[in-house]
Amino acid sequence: MSASYVFRRLTVFVVIVWAAASINFVILRLAPGDPVAGILVRIEQQGGSVVGSDEIIRSYRATFGLDEPFVVQYAKFVANFARFDFGPSLSNYPTPVNAIIGAALPWTIGLLTVSTMIAFGLGTFLGALLAWRGTPAILRTTLPLLMLVAAVPYYLLAILLLAVFAFGLHLFPAAGTAPIGGLGATGLTRVGEILRSSFLPAVSLILGGLGGWMLGMRGLMVGVLGSDYLMLAEAKGLSTRRILFRYAIRNAILPQITVLALALGSIVSGAVLVEVIFSYPGLGSTLYQAIQNNDYTLIQGITFLLVVAVGVAILILDLAYPLLDPRIRYDQG
Amino acid sequence: MTRGEHPWTARRGWGAARRVLPRDSRLRTGVAIVVGLLVLGSVGPSLVGPAGLSLGAAGYSQPPSAAHPFGTDPTGRDVLTLLVYGTIPTLTIGVLAGGIGTGIGVILGLLSGYVRGPVDTVIKGVADVAVTIPTLMILVVLTALVKTQSIALMAIIIGLLAWPYSARAIRAQTLTLRERGFVTIAVLSGRNAFEVMFLEILPNLLPYVMASLVGAVSGAIVAAVGLQLLGLGPITTPTIGLMLQYAFQYGAVTRGMWWWWGPPTLFLVLLFGGLFLISVALDAFSNPRLRRVEAA
């Protein structure tokens, strides 16, 4: 991996972030007049009231230099975004957008990291079994059924789970983790409560994501099976398990890891629907609230954060790929 | 490849599709389910009549009975009537958005895979980044800004964001086809790039285009219903998504009114299951290596 390759990848990352900030700048100015004042007027027209709207306009004008020439405005805007300074939230003035995002982010990252990893691990393994000749007949007939379940979108699974396990059997709390903060429980009790409240959202995300991983891995395994080195491994008399894990899966899995990295990068957007259905206090439901309240600065903050996170994931992937797979050489191109 | 054909000019198109596909039980089941729902949507309204659509027409929050097989909602509308009237608009969103997305994807995929060069770099680059960003999130922000008032507008927005998936699939196939003998012959006999792409390569990609279209239709309905669950869809046309939106917003699950959220959920489970079976069958056909594994 050469220095120029690293430099090119970094440039791509900077361009993505810069473009995202610029698009946000343009969108805010599509409406005529003072962007913030315009939004506040719209909120009030729709019957909402904004506490301290004059104050918001003044502070926003100062932060983003709205009284200065256009070029300076643009430079300040991009600079603020680059520092993750999105100004105050319009619906919760004077709480900064950052504080709101900061409160919701751990919930979302916790839920989605765990469920994405489980769905990836389970789905990849089951997908490999789907293509593997030595898979027991029972699995061969039940696995496609599982994929059929996964064809149902995760939010429908969420509604079904909510109806059966939360409202029908009362096994899990129905209102997500929203009440946890108010419970004031500490230590292990609190951990238990969080796990219990996150269980159903996680299950719906895992079931909904499983099929994609299974299909992907099955396709990759099909490409690997029948290779000469597998035949050689068999001829050497290695155990089936060893051939499956060390030879077949290991060689087929690389593209799955690419998808995993990108999936982890897009985690910050949260799973809007699952979070809303289970009243889960993550970034997804925060975005939903922000849209309901026309809280434009908050929407901007969340979308920008998402783009940066996806950009970081792509950057890490591009840099890690030549290390993972020595066959890949980028120096020429 | 059919017997006796010269390997240079051999193509895989509808001939093979006609032989293999009708024997696939998954395809038959999937098509039967989707056609069944289509019939429900086109014949249903004339059977049940529009009376049940009016507010308060059928008694409030009634559980299923002989008069109302699926019960009524809290505004007094008949759930069965809502379901059959919502079917066609729901499928329309899917077909319109899926068609737009696949159409753009096919054109860009062909260009990217056949023309190569800077065109390829740009299209592939944008598509690669676009598939990693959760579409629903972009849609949520967009539809909140645009305030979609018609199912057509919502379908267009969804369709415009759906192209990267088919573009990638079509590009990959175009890359392999452009090296084939019949393409070389077409180029040597004076066909221009446009003719080669759309008259020579595209007809051979039709099974892939179909698979891509089915996936896009399914994905578009997933997105549309998701948006509606969040209250971001049009509320002027009856759709299955709108039924779920009201059921969810007015606490059908909390109130134990299973007949309110159950039928639209079951409808969607059937629809997605059917589309999934069709796409698996098309996928197995387009990828002969998969076919061999499944036969083993």
Asked if pLDDT for residue A36 goes beyond 50, the answer is yes
Asked if pLDDT for residue B102 goes beyond 80, the answer is yes
Which DSSP string do the residues of B60-87 spell out, in sequence order?
TTPPP-SSSTT-B-TTS-BHHHHHHHHH
Ranges of beta strands (E only) in A19-155 are none
Chain A residues at the B interface, defined by Cβ less than 8 Å, are 16, 27, 131, 133, 147-148, 151-153, 155-156, 159-160, 162-163, 167, 174, 218-219, 222-223, 225, 262, 265-266, 269, 272-273, 276-277, 287-288, 291, 299, 303, 306-307, 310, 313-314
**Residue A266 DSSP code:** G
Q: How confident is the model at residue B105 (pLDDT cuts 50, 70, 90)?
A: very high
Task: Give CA torsion, residues B143, B147, B150, B155, to 10 deg.
Answer: -10
Give residue B291's pLDDT: 56
Residues 6+ apart with CB under 8 A from A240: A134
Q: Which residues pair with A88 in a beta bridge?
A: A96
SS3 A214: helix
- Please name each of the domains of chain B with its CATH number: 46-60+79-290 (1.10.3720.10)
Asked if pLDDT for residue A172 goes beyond 90, the answer is no
Highest mean pLDDT out of A50-54, B2-6, B247-251, B264-268: B264-268
Give the residue-averaged pLDDT of A270-289. Answer: 83
**Residue B22 DSSP code:** G
Weakest mean pLDDT among A52-61, A285-294, B79-88: A52-61
Question: In CATH, what number does A104-292 get?
Answer: 1.10.3720.10
Q: CA-CA distance, B158 to B228, in Å (whole number)?
A: 13
Tokens 């690997």 locate to A224
Asked if pLDDT for residue A195 goes beyond 90, the answer is no
Indicate the domain borders of chain A.
104-292
Q: In this structure, what token pair is assigned to residue B296? A: 């083993």
Half-sphere exposure of B132 (CA within 13 A, CB side): 27
Distance from CA of A5 to the nearest CA of B (A): 16
Cβ atoms of A29 and A320 closer than 8 Å: no
Cβ atoms of B277 and B284 closer than 8 Å: no
Residues 229-268 of chain B whose Cβ lies under 8 A from any Cβ of chain A: 229-230, 232, 244, 248, 253-254, 256, 258, 261, 265, 268
pTM of the model: 0.81
Q: Which residues pair with A96 in a beta bridge?
A: A88
Give the residue-averaged pLDDT of A75-80. Answer: 80
Q: What are phi and psi of B220, to 5 degrees?
A: -65, -40
Dump pLDDT digits (tens) for B118-142: 888 888 888 877 776 677 777 877 7
Tokens 């810069």 locate to A18
B74 — contact with chain A (CB < 8 Å)? no
Give residue B275's pLDDT: 92
Asked if pLDDT for residue B8 goes beyond 60, the answer is no
Dump pLDDT digits (tens) for A220-231: 888 788 788 888
Exposed / middle / buried, residue A258 (Cβ in 10 Å: 0-12, 13-18, 19+): middle
Give residue B98's pLDDT: 95
Give the residue-averaged pLDDT of A149-159. Answer: 83
Asked if B258's CB is within 8 angstroms of A272's CB, the reply is no
- Tally A–B CB contacts below 8 A: 95
Asked if pLDDT for residue B59 goes beyond 90, the answer is no
ipTM greater than 0.85: no
B226 — contact with chain A (CB < 8 Å)? yes
Give the residue-averaged pLDDT of A215-221. Answer: 84
